[in-house]
Structure 1
């Protein structure tokens, strides 16, 4: 019979429901890869409406990506998924033991996932496309994204190293990398600031 530590080291049959262009799903793919976890990738093409398929709705009633299936456990939302992975698969930890750095990593993740990223979600963009001009949408998005990045800069100012919160890749980096890419690619954010 396998010990508890051996059981934890062997990943269950992980399946990630994802969309290649989703920064939320991108974070989870980064975390899975940093932890060295193998997983099955199931594409949910948001552009084609795959998220409305009744089979996917059984996985995630919100109809968002990402969603992770780990045996009989289903977790949706990138932060919840990554925290679940952090607890179940502790190899290559993404949260530091230092409580101050841990709190800052969680704050950065929260700012990205609740203040910056929602502005670029598929559903938010569809909503605004019908109500305001493309220029207004871009300007508004740039202002909010820049505000979020400015707050993050202040948070990490004293502890940044090779990476956002030190010299190891941590949760903050997992959230920032896809967000920076999206900010530059989708909203022409000038990261020089």
Structure 2
């Protein structure tokens, strides 16, 4: 069976999620860096494989899977340990809600292509772009803190790693990159510290990846 291939970019938070998920499931894979900085993801060769022109994409078991949460779902269905979501329906919905708060509400508004569009086609100055980033991060993390707090433990949900942590850690990494304080979010900070100490998360950290030329 062919080794899975992850089309990757070291600082992409969505790719960061996929790396964490693969590591947690113990799936060995080949990382193929695609430079978002130089626009490699927009080239015809990559778009033939992934029409969205986005990172990550996972080639596995004869399939091409885009979207980080779809990758996580596929891995969870085929590699059951450790589970990414609880079996109980209400608990599962809670964890998915936390994960989607990051993946659907916070991250897309601050994605590189959105920020480039603000300063490029829309002609917004860097200061306006930075304010946009800070606003949506602060609003999203404040909500996530309140959503997670009642049922958090060492991790974002209880004392076991879940899909919520897979989404949280890359998002807080990005917040720190842009000098956004996470001091107001003690629940998120605790979960981030616990998860980041896990070998699967540590190995997925951007500073431990190959940087494309």
**Is TM (by shorter chain) over 0.5?**
yes
TM-score (norm 2): 0.81
Aligned partner of 1:163 among 143, 147, 155:
155
2:19 matches 1:38: no
Distance 1:135 1:18, change over 3 A: same
Q: CA RMSD in A?
A: 1.4
Please, which of 75, 85, 88 is the counterpart of residue 65 of structure 2? 75
Match of 1:13 in 2: 3
Aligned residue in 2 for 1:133:
125
1:106 aligns to 2:93 (yes or no): no
Give 3-state SS (helix, strand or coil) of 1:158's partner. helix
Query: Which runs of no fewer than 5 residues in structure 2 stay unpaired?
Result: 185-213
* Partner residue of 1:58 out of 48, 61, 78: 48
Q: Tell me what 1:185 maps to.
A: 177
For 1:95, the equivalent position in structure 2 comes to 85
Distance 1:36 1:70 in 2: 14
Give per-residue Cα distances to partners, 1:75-113, cap 9 Å, x unaligned.
101111111111122121111123232112111221111
Deviation at 1:12, TM superposition (A): 5.7
Give SS of 2:98's match: helix
- Corresponding residue SS for 1:75: strand
Partners of 2:2 and 2:98 in 1: CA distance: 29
Asked whether the equivalents of residues 110 and 136 of structure 2 are also in contact (C-alpha less than 8 Å), the reply is no
Q: How many residues align?
A: 182
Pick 1 or 2: higher relative contact order, CA cutoff 8 A, min separation 6: 2
CA separation of 1:12/1:158 partners in 2, compared to 1, >3 Å: closer, same or farther?
A: farther
Contact 2:55 2:66 in 1 (8 A): yes
Report the TM-score when normalising by structure 1.
Answer: 0.89
Give the C-alpha shift of residue 66 in structure 1.
0.3
1:151 deviates by: 1.4
CA distance in 1, matches of 2:165, 2:61: 28
Of 134, 145, 168, the match for 1:153: 145
Structure 1 portions without partners, runs of 5+ = 1-10
